[in-house]
Chain A
């Protein structure tokens, strides 16, 4: 592949300032079981190339799944023509500094590259079977997916990068029903167990314990009290912190949103360029990093999709906003510090500013200490509903499972726990941050953004956190 791409780039005749080709080969497998019957057994093979050309200050692209030398050469011409046709209307006159030379490789840590289809089906069938802890269980489901994604990136200024990401994404959950009442309980949210690695990650040592707990908690929720409508201390488990970080830190810090690129679709941001280095985003307990170097976290990589070496950077340190989520193009436009996050969902989409791994660093409180410090509060686990405005300001999130906190103790189980707030107020109310023992990593393959639209994988690690005076509420009685 490397020689093909290098030869095609070297043979290009267009008078471009820069030419790059990124090919992506994706071999994926998916298995899904529902109520003890197979719902899906599938494999996916994708292979294509994104050809980018910089000419007259404008990037143009042409993406094709025909990887012959002739097709790739033709794609260079198409991309060049695209750039030239738009160059009089460029939002910014880019230079090749947006694509500096880079060489290297990255391979996900992994051990087992495959699992027999029959064996995988059998495990998932058992998961569904064991979820059925009661006759109140109306539906059970279990899913496992793997991806082996290889990327080659070659450019006219000598970039030469190979990356291989091996991913395993799993899920199980159940719906319990008694009359008109139904309750959903899942393994930390849909496909939240998404990590880099091989099949050594699944089934894992604690799978059956988790399955049992999910089944039992689904039934428990049927007969639980509704979450009360009250302003109180809110304690969020790491599987809900994932969503909280994603929606109210990650997205608002994306430089392309701040620059206005996303205003017609995903939206803008309440953050302004002058806020970087100046704004107090939240409590001084708040330390947030962009970290594509965490082994096993879903969005780890060595280079972003335009070849920028990936490094760990603080976005927010002791509550102060330091840096945005923007790749080299956005950094050129915005003149603020960014990160290596120009990413694309595959070969058929251009790179834009994305989250990768965005993590909230641990604090110093044990889970027991956090709860013991609270007279009245609600503890919530596992996202089930998410909605936030286009400036990433007013949000309302719902969870699957809640517990009342009374006099420093976790007491009754609560169903339909929801909360709503406004981003800056919420993060300023962060009052306790759990220690490393409470820190957990989850991921999601479903971060949506961009025009044309792109779904991309992100990872989020977080400890248990407590927030003061948050409006919580329940569902219909």
Chain B
């Protein structure tokens, strides 16, 4: 990105922040005293370039922003989402209409005894502008080094912004310029290697290193594949594969509402009927996470929150809404009570000892398409994907054809857990549903005994 482009973005962002603040002030001036409100903003100015076979498939820009106004009065609440253009008059016109609609609607609604009124005094401001690729340089920069390769994937970069304001006077602003490149290299047998580069500063050397690493892995995939019979095998899950398993903790996992409503895989853990390994510790850690600490109630999460400590469920994720409903203490989780900055603590397995410790079994780089197969018992099914190998006597012998697994988290993170690696990797969240996502997870690799493969 040129300095001129960076300056333009910075200018636009400060304008967005100013206008968001003006809109919040205007809402505050237009609601009756007994009415509470929250106003949130989520938006982006993003570049999306999509590649197939080291060529450009689609390329474009998206400028998008959405305001969500929530009105609370007499224990009733409703919300409206509307576009945020960044022009005060245009945005206030829509917001004023939404406010009027909500004030008409809310009295018609039933009482919500668990409505969370804004009461805090928190404010925060996080701004991190990086250096991303200039639009007209993306294709040449990314594709020139991979012309001899079957390279496919997506580059997504640009500005992301989030805002929060409420009737109690809390204000938060988060903005950043960052990018992610999520790619795969394929060989002529349709075997593939996955790579991700993400951050706020484009580093060409890092990109080229990642491509080199992927090429080396791809060469190993060229060996004849070994057919693996269904059964149980000692298995090493690389950090990207562990991150896929970790996603399941946010889907009917460690949220308090799910636990209370019989919709959690960890109900048996809380009831003391199943155990996890003392080697397993999971926490929320916002220390290095590229994600806002404030939630949709304006509350700021603790910098660190242990969730599962040495196998014990020590904290579920509790939103202030669940806190009211179940008479427990909020830890300022998001409304959906999902992990926002998850970290699995490292173990003792040295990176250079992974294959030796695995000895005979499967080395899995990635997993794909996970779903609960027996939710109350924590059982998950999914596929192996990308660079996965059969290992014998501590050496990679052959790639494998993709396998279906079906295994309980109580086994993976419980009695089957042999060790975790002594170093972690940061796995960025590259999702782009509706908008580019923020955040990442920090996870080590893990060695599991008797991991079950079914097809």
Chain A residues engaging chain B, CB cutoff 8 angstroms: 35, 37-38, 40-48, 58-66, 78-79, 81-83, 85-86, 88-91, 116-118, 121-122, 125, 138-139, 175, 177, 180-182, 184, 259-261, 263-265, 267-268, 348-350, 352, 385-391, 394, 396, 398, 416, 418, 420, 422, 448, 451-455, 475-476
A258 to B260, CA, bound (A): 44
Q: In the complex, how many angstroms separate the beta carbon of B178 from the nearest chain A beta carbon? A: 15
Interface string of B120-155 (1 = CB under 8 A from A): 000000000000000110111001000000001110
Given A85-B139, A180-B273, A448-B433, are A64 and B55 also a contact pair (CB < 8 Å)? no
**Residues from chain A with Cβ under 8 Å of B62 in the complex:** 62-64, 348-349, 452
Q: For A59, what are the chain B residues with a Cβ–Cβ distance below 8 Å?
A: 58-59
CB distance from A57 to the nearest CB of B (A): 11
Q: Are B80 and A348 in contact (CB under 8 A)?
A: no
| Contact indicator per residue, chain B 85-123, by CB within 8 Å of chain A (1) or not (0) | 111001000100010010001001110111000000000
Residue pair B109, A117 in contact (C-beta under 8 Å): yes
Shortest Cβ distance from residue B365 to the other chain A in the assembled complex, whole angstroms? 13
- Kindly report which residue of chain A lies nearest to residue B85, judged by CB atoms: A66
Q: Is B136's CB under 8 angstroms from A41's CB?
A: no
B94 touches A45 (CB 8 A): yes
Pairs across A and B, CB under 8 Å, 24 listed:
A38-B77, A42-B78, A42-B81, A44-B82, A46-B81, A61-B59, A64-B64, A89-B139, A90-B56, A121-B110, A182-B375, A263-B192, A387-B381, A388-B369, A390-B383, A391-B402, A394-B383, A396-B381, A418-B373, A451-B432, A452-B432, A475-B373, A475-B379, A476-B379
B-side contacts of A118, CB under 8 Å: 108-110
Across the interface, B55 reaches (CB within 8 A) one of A46, A91, A117, namely: A91
Shortest A231–chain B CB gap in Å is 13
Contact B263 A175 (CB under 8 A): yes
In the complex, how many angstroms separate the beta carbon of B364 from the nearest chain A beta carbon? 14
Known: A263-B186, A390-B369, A396-B406. A451 touches B153 (CB 8 A): yes
The residue of chain A having its C-beta at the shortest distance from the C-beta of B403 within the complex is A394
What 0/1 pattern do residues 411 to 444 of B give for CB contact below 8 A with A? 0000000000000000000011100100000000
Given contacts A48-B83, A81-B136, A117-B105, contact A66 B60 (CB under 8 A): no
CA of A47 to CA of B66, assembled, Å: 10
> Nearest Cβ in chain A — how far from B337, in angstroms?
13
| A265–B433 alpha-carbon span in the complex (Å) | 13
B152 CB contacts on chain A under 8 angstroms: 260-261, 263-264
User: In the complex the two chains form, is B60's CB within 8 Å of A61's CB?
Assistant: yes
The residues of A that contact B46 with a CB separation of less than 8 Å are 452
Bound CA span A139–B262, Å = 8
* Cβ-defined contact, A394 with B455, below 8 A: yes
Rounded to whole Å, the gap between the CB of B378 and the closest CB of chain A is 9
Most B C-beta atoms less than 10 A away, residue of A89, A90, A263, A416: A89
**Residue B372 is within 8 A (CB to CB) of chain A in the complex:** yes
Does B432 lie within 8 Å of A41, measured CB to CB? Answer: no
From B84, B113, B381, residue with most partner A Cβ within 10 Å: B381
Q: At the interface, yes or no: B323 with Cβ under 8 Å from chain A?
A: no
| In contact, B109 and A38 (Cβ under 8 angstroms) | yes
> Would you give the shortest CB distance from A319 to chain B, in whole angstroms?
24
Complexed CA–CA distance, A177 and B271 (Å): 14
* Majority SS at the chain B contact face: strand
Interface residues of B in 289-338 (CB under 8 A from A): none
Contact of B368 among A83, A116, A267 (CB under 8 A): A267
B10 interfacial contact with A, CB 8 Å = no
Q: Which residues of B lie under 8 Å from residue A263 when comparing CB positions?
A: 52, 152, 184, 186, 192
A46 to B84, CA, bound (A): 10
Chain A residues near B192 (CB, 8 Å)?
Answer: 263
* Shortest 9 CB-CB contacts between residues of A and residues of B: A61-B60, A452-B432, A118-B108, A475-B374, A91-B55, A451-B154, A139-B261, A86-B56, A41-B78
What 1/0 flags go to B265-277 for Cβ under 8 Å of A?
0011001010000
Q: Decide if B108 touches A85 in the complex (CB within 8 Å).
A: no
Nearest CB on B from A347, distance (A): 9
Using known A-B contacts A37-B112, A261-B52, determine if residue A63 contacts B267 with beta carbons closer than 8 Å.
Answer: no
Contacts of B14 in A (CB 8 A): none
User: Given known contacts A85-B135, A88-B139, is B376 in contact with A182 (CB within 8 Å)?
Assistant: yes
Knowing that A38-B112, A139-B263, A475-B374 are A-B contacts, what are 11 other residue pairs whose CB atoms are under 8 Å apart, sorted by A's residue number? A38-B76, A43-B78, A58-B59, A62-B63, A88-B140, A260-B186, A389-B385, A398-B371, A422-B455, A452-B62, A452-B432
Determine if B381 and A260 form an interchain contact, defined as CB atoms under 8 angstroms apart. Answer: no
Name the B residues within 8 Å of A48 (CB-CB). 64, 83
Docked complex Cα distance between A62 and B48 (Å):
10
Q: In the complex, A83 Cα to B194 Cα: how many Å?
A: 27
B382 contacts the other chain (CB 8 A): yes
Q: Contact check: which of A43, A121, A261 meets B57 at CB < 8 Å?
A: A261
| Complex partner residue of A85 from B136, B156, B268, CB under 8 angstroms | B136
